[in-house]
Copies of this chain bind each other. A is one copy, B any other.
Amino acid sequence: MEGRIRGQLLKGTTTLLVLTVLRDGELYGYEIAQRIRERSGGAFVPSEGSLYPALHSLEAAGALEASWQASDRGPRRRYYKITKTGLGMLREHSQEWATFSLGMARAVGGADQ
């Protein structure tokens, strides 16, 4: 659980990460951020400034459906559910990531250091 990743490397991964955690079920924003942190072993902690715009963008693109729901304690929550369109987008982004990480593995090697 060393330091978390910051800066440029994370660019473009938020969509993939969000769609991935939502594949397993409906979640609200704050919870999505926690799941991503947990699943990445603490490496990724999406900031609100990147997470909420990404959620709105995905909803506008038809990849997510959202609904407000009251919480028994604390503020109301906006729950997000992945759509069929979102599942297609998830496949595309997964494939793109696979190509990208394979290219990096070839270029910089998995070995050395």
Q: Is the interface of A mostly helix, strand, loop or mixed?
A: helix
Q: Using a Cβ–Cβ cut-off of 8 Å, how many residues does chain A contribute to the interface with B?
A: 39
Q: Determine the residue in chain B with the shortest Cβ distance to A43.
A: B103
Tell me if B102 and A43 are in contact (CB < 8 A): yes
Q: For the complex, what is the distance from the CA of A11 to the CA of B5, rounded to whole Å?
A: 13
Residue of B3, B12, B95 near A11 (CB, 8 A) is B12
- Per the 8 Å Cβ criterion, residues 74-96 of A in contact with B are 91, 94-96
Q: Determine the residue in chain B with the shortest Cβ distance to A37.
A: B107
Given that A17-B108, A95-B113 are known contacts, is A103 also in contact with B11, CB under 8 Å in the complex? no
Residue of B41, B99, B109, B112 near A103 (CB, 8 A) is B41
